[in-house]
Chain A
Amino acid sequence: MPQISLTVNGKPASATVEARTLLVELLRDKLHLTGTHVGCDTSQCGACTVQVDGMSVKSCSMLAVQADGANVLTIEGLVNADGSLHPMQAMFREHHALQCGYCTPGMVMSAIDLVETHPEGLSEAQIRHGLEGNLCRCTGYHNIVKAIAAAWPLMHDKALPVAAE
């Protein structure tokens, strides 16, 4: 069986996996990082979204062997050393951007990537387009969009420009 080594949340990790093992199975079953959720079996819901080398990917649609040598960030890796929340997590709480919470880890991981890759600003339309890979069945998205817009100034340390849509 393939032996792989990768970095997960800043720490080295290695495991022996089957070739068919999915990245999400490695994270949850072998590394016991159960914050990453599996919400569907069709690669559509995005609850399993993590960052691989800085890019948000659905960890149910990537083999663990494909992540050999990669730098993986999961929801567990966001919290600051002093235990305080990442600004995106804080804004999800502030704006009540979750109800049951099942989709939340994937939403937060996608949202962070979305904000980080839009330093020029982020309109509501861009946020909604950017969230198409993450399904939520209870909040109706509205507060999630608000939370992401509220996290943008905190992550970029400046006011969010008013978008010309």
Chain B
Amino acid sequence: MYDFTYAKPATIADAARALTGDAEAKALAGGMTFIPVLKQRLNKPSAIIDLSALGLAGIKLEGDKLVIGAMTTHGAVAASAEVKKAIPALAELAGNIGDRQVRYRGTIGGSLANNDPSACYPAAVLALGATIKTNERSIAADDYFQGMFTTALNPNEIITEVHFPVPQNAAYTKFANPASRYAMVGVFVAKTAGGVRVAITGAGQNGVFRHAGFEAALAKSFTPDALNGIATPADEMNADIHGSAAYRAHLVGVMAKRAVAAAM
């Protein structure tokens, strides 16, 4: 690992200032991706700004929105009675990220800022039409994800909360890579006030995406069979040693049907 300086600011303003003043400074959330990346010398920050003392962890219900603080760990989301009651699919998703040790430290804000194309949370945020609050503004999920490892965040912008509208029904199904537990294909289906939304992670070349074909079919009939014959274009899917693009395109349909069955 290359060396760096370390700071743990006590206020969001101080953290933002530290990130703004140094273009090579990086924010550290749970570090479950970032620290392994540093160990491999894939990144060389001048300074690490630890966000753990900013008071950004917590879960609360505000009207019809579930509000999760950016530094809330996957384990805390999975175990939360409020999350289990309001959006059980979200608790289940969080409880199957990585492994137990990762869930104790990995955070929702870190996952969303990183936007790994195989991460689970982006599918939930996009399918539920969540809003990402930062120290500067609110960003709608539809505007936030901009391709793999790319988001609408400015370099010095800090996610503070994620606001999830509570859906009528929702479910997430993941076909996990058995070694990493990342999604080979993950499908989050939600029946929301604004209609049916389907978000796919792990499969697309550009990271998480909404499946317009599935959404149109499910709006007419919210059943697994409604997805019969609706294609997922293989030329937009990832191909790697774990599976070809055609395999992933097929798996998207299979996992989507399972998600719909679970959400009914």
**Segment 48-105 of B: residues with Cβ below 8 Å from A:** 48, 50, 52, 75, 98-102, 104-105
B35, A132: Cβ atoms under 8 Å?
no
**How many of chain B's residues have a CB under 8 angstroms from any CB in A?**
28
Question: Cβ of B38 < 8 Å from any Cβ of A?
Answer: yes
Would you give the shortest CB distance from B152 to chain A, in whole angstroms?
A: 28
Residues from chain B with a CB closer than 8 A to the CB of A65 are 6, 8, 50
Question: Cβ of B23 < 8 Å from any Cβ of A?
Answer: no
Instruction: Count A-B pairs with CB separation below 8 Å.
Output: 72
Among A2, A44, A46, the one with the most B-chain Cβ atoms within 10 Å of its Cβ is A44
B1, A20: Cβ atoms under 8 Å?
yes
Would you give the shortest CB distance from B27 to chain A, in whole angstroms?
A: 14
| Neighbour of B100 across the interface among A22, A42, A61, A130, CB < 8 A | A130
Residues from chain A with a CB closer than 8 A to the CB of B9 are none
Among A20, A55, A57, A62, the one with the most B-chain Cβ atoms within 10 Å of its Cβ is A20
Question: Cβ of A114 < 8 Å from any Cβ of B?
Answer: yes
Q: Quick one: closest B residue to A42, CB to CB? A: B36
Would you give the shortest CB distance from B75 to chain A, in whole angstroms?
A: 8
Would you give the shortest CB distance from B114 to chain A, in whole angstroms?
A: 15
Would you give the shortest CB distance from A121 to chain B, in whole angstroms?
A: 16
Question: Cβ of B242 < 8 Å from any Cβ of A?
Answer: no
Residues from chain B with a CB closer than 8 A to the CB of A2 are 6
| Neighbour of A63 across the interface among B31, B101, B102, B180, CB < 8 A | B31
Q: How far apart sit A62 and B101, CA to CA, in the bound complex (Å)? A: 11
Question: Cβ of A37 < 8 Å from any Cβ of B?
Answer: no
B101, A110: Cβ atoms under 8 Å?
yes
B3, A43: Cβ atoms under 8 Å?
no
Residues from chain B with a CB closer than 8 A to the CB of A56 are 100-101, 104
Q: Interface on B for A, CB 8 Å cutoff?
A: 1-6, 8, 31-32, 35-36, 38-40, 48, 50, 52, 75, 98-102, 104-105, 179-181
